[in-house]
A = this chain, B = another copy of it.
Amino acid sequence: MSNANGDVRGGTSTLHSQAAAAKATTRRLAAATTREKNAALHAIADAIEAERDAILAGNRVDLDAAESKGLSGALLDRLRLTEARIAQMATGVRQVAALPDPVGRIDRLETRPNGLRVGRMRVPLGLVGIVYEARPNVTIDAAALCLKSGNACLLRGGSEALASNRALIAIATDAIASVGLPREAVSFVDQTDREGVREMARLSGVLDLLIPRGGEGLIRFVTDNATVPVIQHYKGVCHVYVDGAADLAMAEAIAVNAKVHRPGVCNAMETLLVDAACAHAFLPRIAAAMIAKGVTLRGCPRTRSLVPSVEAASEADWDTEYLDLVLSIRVVDGLDDALAHIAAHGTGHTEAIVSTDRDRGDRFVREVDASLVLVNASTRFNDGFELGLGAEMGISTTKLHAYGPMGLEELCAQKWVGYGSGQVRG
């Protein structure tokens, strides 16, 4: 098995051989034209539609096993493929084909005093590993995004989706090979034990990046064991801070949207912070609105003194990602207090202030450490499509390289390039 880097330590396992074979395709992929990559994507989309029955059959195997194991309704729903979802998968791949190719673009080209023209060129990362939940659609989404950005990928999906993923990978790799690109560019790890994750995380010199998605335990395990660069897609304990100078109708609309629009996702609000200056006017109103939407409320003592029907929040509530119609509420003494609460309990995901006071909005934006900080808008906007990136791999809560949605650009590195006419250093 060849390896371009000369940097691989040990490793003769199946996973290592497979990763090395995927790595060996990275030079070819990095040099692939936009036309070639788009042809592969359209071939994948067409094959997904043509092979719908095979995909559904694989998915049926997974669903039967999951049902007999008694998996919860939410997990079953994520696992389940339908004709409509398969059609959506193909549409998603065609949307990625339609996005601009990030590879080879040069940003910030400038001419130095000696005439050397220097800039930064986007180039693929190389081989990207992704460890994810039992969601078969992620297999195709991730493969499409990696292909378009010129990266090979090594995918490891949740064990409950193994038969679905095998069907999808067979289709995708045949489609890639049909247009003359190497099928190993999309490689699937057909083992589902934790030890395999550890091995992936230690593929120094082979894997250029590992993205763990999913539960806290998995992400910790990867971080603790990795020798390769890791970008975490971690939980979102997101806050909306309603400032004393807020437009309360706007604050209500934003808070309700942030909580109830899609409570099961990472950019939903989990904690509402209310300035004491407007708590008297705002809390009864927002409590009524939330309760009308079926939200269970848990509050601090000051919240409960204004709205006695609210349950008491425990210390643990401030660090809990409910992913459900549950909201914790805390009264704070102005912006400084809100900033301190978010610094202590935020997870670097999404934070919002509602205020008509521009200075306070600016201070909030500047001082809050999160992948997206918003003024007068819902936390639900932390999403690749909403921010103008198109499709994305998920939301990074790692500060380096890509903080926020990871789209095609974020799946690339930027190298320096320089065009000279014989310049030497004096």
Interface residues of A (CB under 8 A from B): 4-6, 27, 30-31, 104, 110, 112, 116, 118, 121, 123, 125-126, 204, 208-209, 223-224, 226-227, 229-231, 247, 250, 253-254, 256-258, 261, 319, 339, 343-345, 361, 365-367, 369-378, 380-382, 386-388, 398-401, 403-405, 413-425
Contact = CB atoms under 8 A, between A and B. Distances in A.
A56 B121 CA distance: 44
A415 B375 contact: no
Contacts of A387: 112, 118, 416, 418
A386 B416 contact: no
Given A343-B4, A344-B4, A399-B208, A417 B254 contact: no
Contact of A418 (B110, B112, B373): B373
A230 B116 CA distance: 31
Instruction: List 9 tightest A-B contacts by C-beta distance, closest first.
Output: A377-B420, A257-B424, A401-B401, A380-B425, A372-B416, A400-B401, A250-B422, A377-B423, A399-B413
B125 A367 contact: no
A419 to B, nearest CB: 5
Question: How many monomers of this chain does the complex have?
Answer: 2
B372 A417 contact: yes
B27 A400 contact: no
A104 B363 CA distance: 11
Contact of A425 (B381, B405, B424): B381
A386 B112 contact: yes
Contacts of A116: 377, 381, 386
A367 B227 contact: no
A227 B220 CA distance: 9
Contact of A415 (B30, B126, B372): B372
Contacts of A423: 376-378, 381
B227 A204 contact: no
Instruction: Report which residue of A226, A382, A404, A415 has the largest number of chain B beta carbons within 10 angstroms of its beta carbon.
Output: A415
A126 B399 contact: yes
Nearest to A342: B4
16 contacts: A4-B344, A112-B388, A116-B377, A224-B227, A253-B424, A256-B424, A257-B425, A365-B419, A373-B418, A375-B418, A376-B420, A377-B422, A381-B420, A387-B416, A387-B418, A399-B413
A107 B319 CA distance: 32
Contacts of A415: 369-373, 399, 403-404
Given A116-B381, A229-B230, 12 more contacts: A4-B344, A5-B343, A31-B366, A31-B367, A112-B387, A118-B387, A126-B369, A231-B400, A250-B422, A372-B418, A373-B415, A386-B425
Nearest to A350: B416
B6 A344 contact: yes
A177 B341 CA distance: 27
A365 B27 CA distance: 13
B388 A118 contact: yes
A361 B404 CA distance: 35
Contact of A345 (B6, B344, B372, B414): B6
Contacts of A373: 121, 415-418
Contacts of A380: 424-425
A161 B403 CA distance: 37
B382 A424 contact: no
Nearest to A420: B377
A422 B382 contact: no
A422 B27 contact: no
A424 B125 contact: no
A377 B366 CA distance: 41
Nearest to A398: B229
A326 to B, nearest CB: 20
A30 B126 CA distance: 33
A30 B343 CA distance: 12
A123 B369 contact: yes
